Structures are given as structure tokens and as C-alpha cells.
Amino acid sequence: MEENKQIKETKGIDTSIIYDFKQYPDEISGRCDNCGNTLFKSSVKDFIFLRECRECGMKKSI
């Protein structure tokens, strides 16, 4: 069996925590701090806008 899963290098940011954008602004605007990905999944929960990285799952409230 072959596994084609690519293991992306991340900075080891805990993806189970929702980070506050004000406290943790993007190092590079529009890019994930953890893996540098530019694709995000957005959702709104309790009137808080959540941005989740599609690659590593890091979450920020904006």
C-alpha cells in the first residue's frame, strides 16, 4: 500500500485553540501563520467570524 499523504511543515501551532486575530494578526496578511496556506474555510458562530485553515485547521476569530 502506498500513502501519498503529504506532511506539510507547520510551526506547531495548536490547532485546537481559536486564536484572536487582534492578539495574533497574520504574519503575512491572508496566509495561515502555521503552514502558510491561503485557503480558508469561514464560518460564523455566536456572532463571531471564524476563519479556519483548510490545510492544518488553525482557527482564528476575526
DSSP structural state of residue 49? E
Q: Residues 3-42: x/- map of binding to Zn ion (CB under 5 A)? A: -----------------------------x-xx-x-----
At which residue does the C-alpha cell 496556506 appear? 37
Which residue, 1 or 30, is less far from Zn ion as judged by CB? 30
**Angle at CA 8, nearest 5°, toward 29 and 20?**
40
Q: What is the dihedral of CA 20, 46, 41, 16, to 10 degrees?
A: 50
Q: Using the rule CB under 5 A, give the single segment among 17-25, 39-47, 49-57 that binds Zn ion.
A: 49-57
Which parts of this chain interact with Zn ion (CB under 5 A)? 32, 34-35, 37, 53, 55-56, 58
